[in-house]
C-alpha cells in the first residue's frame, strides 16, 4: 500500500508526537513479519530508550533512539503504524505494541505481514542490508533528468519497471509510477533506453510533482492506508489513471486502459501516452 508519500505522511504525523517519548517495553504478539523479529535485539537497542527523531529513507521509517539505538520500520502493503491510548483494545493483526509514557502506545498492525521491523546500532545504519542498495531519494536534487537518462541507457526493461526499482530511485510504487507516466505522456511499456533526454526530464519532474502533491494531501488511501492518527489520506480523488480502467481520460476522454506488467496492474491512456 504505502509508497513514499504515505510513509512521509506517517512520519510527519508521528514525529512531533513521539519525539522525547520513551519506549518502556515492546510487546511482540506476532514475530513472523517479513523477517522474524528477534526479541533480544529489541531489548538491546530499543527498550527503555528515548526517541530522538524519526527520519525516512525511501519507504522505510528510521527511528533514532538515544545511546546509538535505531529502529527500521517498513509498512509493506497493509502496515499501519498509529498512536493509541492506554485504553486501546488489541485488534486482530496488532503484531507489535510499543509501550510509551503515561500508558500511550504505538501500535503496528499489518494484515498481510509484508511489513518489517528491525532494531540495531545506528552506527550500522548505512550498512543495513535493507538500506545499502537503495538509490537516491526522488525529491532530492541528485535525482534529475541527467541521472535518469544516464542510468537507463542500454536498459531494455520498461520505463515503468525501471522507476519502480528501488536501486535506481526509491519510493516510487505502483500508483505513482502510473500517475507520473501519465503526467509525462510516456507509455508505461516503453523500453527505458528509448526514453530520451527531454522525456527523462519530463518524467523526473512529473515524479517530483506527483509525490509532492500526494504528500500535501496526506497520501493516497485506497482502503487500508492510515496516518499516525489512524486517519485516511485524500489523494485518491486526485488520481488520473490508477484504478480507473474503462473510465474517461481526464485529458482526452478516451477510455483508460489496464494492462499487466511484471504481475502488477498498470493503468494508462493510449492516446495521451506514447512509446
Of these residues, 11, 59, 151, 257, which one is catalytic? 59
Only one of the segments 39-47, 155-163, 205-213, 249-257 lies at the binding site for DNA (rule: CB under 7 A); that segment is 155-163
Q: Which residue has the cell 526479541?
A: 39
State the virtual CA torsion across 101, 104, 106, 110 in degrees, nearest 10. 150
262 binds DNA (CB under 7 A): yes
Closest residue by Cα to residue 259 from 274, 238, 245, 275:
245
Report CA Rg, the chain: 20
Residue list 77-116, contact with DNA (CB under 7 A) = 77, 92-93, 111-114
Taking the least distance from each CB to DNA, the nearer of 220 and 273 is 220
Residue list 4-63, contact with DNA (CB under 7 A) = 6, 32, 34, 58-59
Please give the order of strands across the beta sheet that includes 79-84: 25-28, 94-99, 105-110, 79-84
118 binds DNA (CB under 7 A): no
Helix and strand numbers (H, E) in the chain are 6, 11
Q: Which three cell numbers stand for residue 238?
A: 486526485
124, 69 in Cβ contact below 8 A?
no
Q: Is 59 a catalytic residue?
A: yes
Q: Which of 222, 229, 254, 275 binds DNA (CB under 7 A)?
A: 222
Only one of the segments 136-144, 166-174, 197-205, 209-217 lies at the binding site for DNA (rule: CB under 7 A); that segment is 166-174
Would you tell me which residues interact with DNA (CB under 7 A)?
A: 1-3, 6, 32, 34, 58-59, 74, 76-77, 92-93, 111-114, 130, 133, 155-158, 161, 166, 173-175, 220-225, 260, 262-265
Catalytically active residues are 2-3, 59, 264
Amino acid at each position: 500500500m504505502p509508497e513514499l508519500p504515505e510513509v512521509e505522511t506517517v512520519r510527519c504525523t508521528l514525529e512531533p508526537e513521539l519525539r522525547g517519548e520513551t519506549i518502556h517495553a515492546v510487546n511482540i504478539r506476532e514475530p513472523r513479519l517479513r523477517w522474524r523479529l528477534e526479541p533480544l535485539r529489541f531489548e538491546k537497542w530499543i527498550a527503555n530508550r528515548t526517541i530522538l527523531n524519526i527520519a525516512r529513507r525511501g519507504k522505510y521509517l528510521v527511528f533514532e533512539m538515544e545511546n546509538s539505538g535505531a529502529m527500521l520500520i517498513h509498512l509493506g502493503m497493509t502496515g499501519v503504524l498509529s498512536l493509541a491510548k492506554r485504553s486501546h483494545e488489541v485488534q486482530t493483526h496488532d503484531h507489535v505494541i510499543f509501550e510509551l509514557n503515561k500508558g500511550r502506545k504505538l501500535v503496528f498492525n499489518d494484515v498481510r505481514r509484508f511489513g518489517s521491523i528491525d532494531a540495531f546500532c545506528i552506527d550500522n545504519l548505512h550498512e543495513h542490508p535493507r538500506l545499502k542498495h537503495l538509490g537516491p531519494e526522488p525529491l532530492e536534487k541528485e535525482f534529475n533528468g541527467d541521472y535518469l537518462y544516464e542510468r537507463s541507457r542500454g536498459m531494455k526493461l520498461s520505463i515503468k519497471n525501471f522507476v519502480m526499482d528501488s536501486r535506481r530511485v526509491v519510493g516510487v510504487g505502483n500508483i505513482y509510477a502510473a500517475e507520473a507516466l501519465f503526467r509525462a505522456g510516456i507509455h508505461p511499456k516503453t523500453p527505458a533506453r528509448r526514453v530520451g533526454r527531454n522525456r527523462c526530464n519530463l518524467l523526473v519532474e512529473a515524479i517530483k510533482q506527483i509525490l509532492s502533491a500526494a504528500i500535501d494531501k496526506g497520501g493516497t488511501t485506497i482502503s487500508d492506508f492510515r496516518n499516525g492518527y489512524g486517519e485516511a489520506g485524500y489523494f485518491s480523488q486526485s488520481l488520473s489513471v490508477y484504478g480507473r480502467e474503462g473510465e474517461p481520460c481526464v485529458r482526452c476522454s478516451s477510455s483508460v486502459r489496464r494492462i499487466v506488467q511484471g504481475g502488477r496492474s498498470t493503468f494508462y491512456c493510449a492516446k495521451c501516452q506514447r512509446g
